[in-house]
Chains A and B, each alone.
Chain A
Amino acid sequence: MPEVIGTFLNMPLGPLPLADWISWVCIVIGAFFAIVGALGIVRLPDVFSRMHGAGIIDTMGIMMILTGLMFQADDWIVVVKLTLILLFIFFTSPTTTFALARAAIYGGVNPGPTVEELDEARQAQNKKANKEADPSNT
C-alpha cells in the first residue's frame, strides 16, 4: 500500500510531481492565513477579538503549512511526527485560548455588553423616543 501511494504522489503533472503541487497549494494557503491572523492580532480592538486572530494562525495557518510539509517527507516517521505536532496544536490551542479568556475576565478586562444589556439599552431608548414623540401620553 505505501508503494502505491508513493508512485501516485510521484506521478508527474506538468512541470512538477503531484506531491509538490499539493504542497504548494497547502503552503500558500497556510502562509496567507498566517499573515492574516497576525494582522488580526495587530489590528483588532481588544483581547477577546485578538484571540480570533490567534485562532486563525493556529488552525488554518499552522495546520495548512504542516500538512504541506507532510507531502515532502521522505520517510513515514516524518509524517507521524508532523501528525503528532498537528494533534498537539489541535488540542492545546483551544485550551490556551480558554485559560487566557478566563484569566482576562478574572483580571478585569471589559468584554463588552452582553445581549441582555444591549436589549435593555434598546428598550430604554425606544421608550425615550416614544415619550418625546407623544408627551401627553405619559
Chain B
Amino acid sequence: MTVTMFAVAAIAVLVSMLLSMTRAFVGPTVFDRILAVNATGTLTVVLISVYGFLDGRPEFLDIALLYALINFIGTIAVTKYVKFQDLGHPMDGPDKGDV
C-alpha cells in the first residue's frame, strides 16, 4: 500500500516534469527556458527522494539535498550570465554587482 502512495507521487512528479520540459523546449525567451529548467530541477529533487523511499533506501535524500544545492547555484549562475554576460564582479553602474 505504501508503494502505491510513492508511485502516485512519482507519476505526478513525472507528469509535471514533462509539462515543464515542453515549456523549456518551446519557450519564446531565454527566461522562459531558465524558469522551466529550474522548475524541472526542483521536481527532480522530489523524484530522487520518492525513488529513495520507493526502493527502501532513504539515503537517496543526501543526493536530493545535493541536487537542490546545485540546482540553485546553477540557476543563479545562468541568470547572472544572461543578465550581465559575466560571472565576475561587474562593479560599474548602480544596477550591477548582485544577483
A residues contacting B by CB (< 8 A) are 16, 20, 23-24, 27-28, 30-32, 34-35, 37-39, 41-42, 47, 50-51, 53-54, 57-58, 61-62, 65-66, 68-69, 72-75, 78, 81-82, 84-85, 88-89, 92-93, 95-96, 98-100, 102-104, 106-107, 109
Contact = CB atoms under 8 A, between A and B. Distances in A.
Given A31-B9, A54-B38, A100-B35, A41 B20 contact: yes
Q: How large is the interface on B (under 10, 10 to 19, 20 to 34, 35 or more residues)?
A: 35 or more
A75 to B, nearest CB: 7
A100 B75 CA distance: 9
Chain A residues touching B, majority SS: helix
Contacts, number: 159
11 contacts: A23-B2, A30-B9, A34-B43, A38-B18, A41-B23, A50-B23, A69-B53, A78-B58, A89-B45, A96-B75, A100-B34
Contacts of B50: 65, 69
Interface of B: 1-2, 5-6, 8-9, 11-13, 15-20, 22-23, 29-32, 34-36, 38-39, 42-43, 45-46, 49-50, 53, 58, 61-62, 64-65, 68-69, 72, 75-76, 79-80, 82-83, 95, 99
Contacts of A51: 35
Chain B residues touching A, majority SS: helix
B38 A69 contact: no
A20 B2 contact: yes
B31 A103 contact: yes
Given A38-B16, A89-B42, A100-B31, A72 B2 contact: yes
A131 B62 CA distance: 70
Contacts of B5: 20, 23-24, 27, 68, 72
Nearest to B34: A100
Nearest to A44: B23
A34 B13 contact: yes
